[in-house]
Amino acid sequence: MILNIHKPIGWTSFDVVKKIRGIVREKKVGHGGTLDPFAEGVLIIGTGKDTKRLTNITAEDKSYTATIQLGQITNTLDTEGEIIETKPIPKLNEKMVEQVLYSFLGTSLQIPPMFSAKKVKGQRLYNLARKNIEIEREPAEIQIKDIHLEKLTETELTFSSTCSKGTYIRVLGKEIAERIGTVGYLTSLIRTQVGGFSIDKSQSINEFEDAWKSSAN
């Protein structure tokens, strides 16, 4: 079975896997594409034989809506970390910010953040980052297929984007802030789509649990 679950803020992707495993009483449960604890939205869960389908689903394009806090940056590039730098924010207007966003369209190389689940030489990067160890990371090719400004204030901007597998939106947010002429980190991240699975059709964990129990009766 393939499930389109709306991961809540504060849960790890594995927390969701464990919860679903307990509900359906199935040992073999996996997820397609990690979502950071501070993020929410579409998390694809596979159970039993359908876990094999997750590789193909994970390879699909993903869509996000994200908010960047400008003028400050954290070591994790999100709300989980500590502020490590502040910088003045230039006077912004929508046209200027849209031009900056459009400059990210197409194929580019992106260096994975240290605070990520990516493995380098068998070690998860976040385990090294927590020990204040930074190592060289190979840049990965990514593709930004669509990007739009959703909202702009003096200190924050919200954008939506569709991108290829392996794109770190936290890094994209940092790079957007840099091109604007300041620093920034993500205060909100919502995954709205994974391939053909959209947030409009996703179920909360409670909704899924209630439906599962009802069908079992």
Enumerate the active-site residues: 36
Q: Rounded distance, CA 91 to CA 89, Å?
A: 7
The answer to whether 102 touches 147, Cβ cutoff 8 Å, is: yes
Q: Rounded distance, CA 105 to CA 193, Å?
A: 18
**70 Cβ partners below 8 Å, 6+ apart?**
89, 155, 156, 157, 177, 180, 182, 183, 184
DSSP string, 26-85: -S-EEEES---TT-EEEEEEEEGGGGGGHHHHHTS-EEEEEEEEETEEETTSSTTS-EEE
